[in-house]
Amino acid sequence: MWQEIFTAIDQAYEEMVEIRRYLHQYPEVSFKEEKTAKYIADTYEQLGIPYQAHVGGNGIIARLEGDKPGKTVALRADFDALPIQEENDVPYKSKNDGAMHACGHDGHTATLLSLAKVLVDYQHDLPGTIVFLHQHAEEYAPGGAKPIIETGALEDVDAVFGTHLWATTPLGTIETAKGPFMAGADRFEILIKGKGGHGAQPHLTKDALVIGSQLVTSLQQIVSRRLDPLETAVVTVAQFESGTAFNVIADTAKLTGTVRTFDADIQDTIIEEMEKIIKASCLPYDADYQFDYYKGYPPVINHADEADLILKHAHEADETLTARETAPSMAGEDFAYYLEEKPGAFYFTGAKIEGHAYPHHHPKFDIDERALPLAAKTLLQAYRSYQEKHAY
């Protein structure tokens, strides 16, 4: 039966691409995915698969109960886009100005919807229950995963699996890790409050731009000089806003950025060190500051047994696949919240376009669509492997 289903998934490739390209043309950013959510809900309505809409916001959860005994396994796909103007010259280019599927969530949705369309014909042969978990707002904290969990809609789920089409990993490669896989992702804002003045009279000012410039450099020393070299962390200042004219000394400077960690103690240390450095940088100039730190998604920590199922059995879904353990990524994902509640694992499905290796969140991001059925088959294999391991 399983090989028959895998073959059916391959045969659904053209429809999978059609769904992905349709969604790509009509992206909706986080928390505003109303039309996308309706498209997903309408699909399950047509398939006759029971579903819940507006779960934790715009989330959609559908359930396909097999006739054989087994566990309840959730398979997750996110469906929000990013506030990016697409620069690709393709027939399926975004038609919504300022919005783009620049992270592959259109592909995730097409993968899961197509898998549901195939499996509905095999319902009587399936063990347990498959939960098709369509999540909104992955891209922007507080995200969609946490509110979905808080509704209690996943309380009966035994395990959860998810994949991310990964544009920098070669097609045919599956990557995951047993344990830490993706970093916790936080955001910070620092506002330096100085005193502006004429560019010819710096001695009468408290130059916020100079203070901010020194701060950018000093913050880099947290990782290089305040943390154990064996620990992994990132402190990135990504925006610096200051000044209004070439001959006016700025009275304020705003720095925003991100911190990535895998350990809560390291996270706390970085916050403490940032506060010290900001205060010390402002003190010589008698300047004030405001420091706002927003804890975002926790790190994605895969459960070893579930990650092992992916590594050992991915090739059973498609003999062309190679599954390998990889070093953790410093990118963030709110799939982390599911793994705090339930056993499971998250993994990358290689979707690199040779000669077009633009990273995620880039205006020219795209994926090799041949990865779509591979993602669908490995999600199904994860469900299958879990059922077989925990068979009654």
Confirm or deny that 105 is annotated as ligand binding.
yes
Tell me the DSSP string of 197-209.
EETT-GGGSB-HH
- Helix, strand or coil for residue 81? strand
Task: Specify whether 80 is catalytic.
Answer: yes
What are the distances in angstroms from CA 270 to CA 35, 217, 228?
40, 15, 12
Cα angle: 379, vertex 380, 386; to 5 degrees = 95
Query: Which residues, 6 or more positions from 13, have their beta carbon under 8 angstroms from its beta carbon?
Result: 370, 372, 373
Residue 241's CB: how many other CB atoms inside 10 A? Answer: 13
Bridge pairing between strands 159-166 and 300-301: unpaired
Distance (Å, rounded) from C-alpha 109 to C-alpha 76?
9
Say which residue the tokens 């993968």 belong to.
111
Cα angle: 169, vertex 91, 46; to 5 degrees = 85
Confirm or deny that 103 is annotated as ligand binding.
yes
Would you say 181 and 232 are in contact if contact means Cβ atoms under 8 Å apart? no
Bridge pairing between strands 197-198 and 173-176: unpaired
Is residue 230 packed enough to be buried (19+ CB in 10 Å), middle (13-18) or exposed (0-12)? exposed
Would you say 317 and 118 are in contact if contact means Cβ atoms under 8 Å apart? no
Say which residue the tokens 């599954």 belong to.
323
Which of 28, 78, 80, 333 is labelled catalytic? 80
* Cis status of the peptide bond prior to 142, with omega within 30 of 0: yes
Task: Specify whether 138 is catalytic.
Answer: yes
Distance (Å, rounded) from C-alpha 127 to C-alpha 392?
10
Which of 33, 138, 251, 366 is labelled catalytic? 138
State the binding site: 103, 105, 139, 164, 361
Task: Give me the active site residues, please.
Answer: 80, 138
State the binding site for Mn(2+): 103, 105, 139, 164, 361
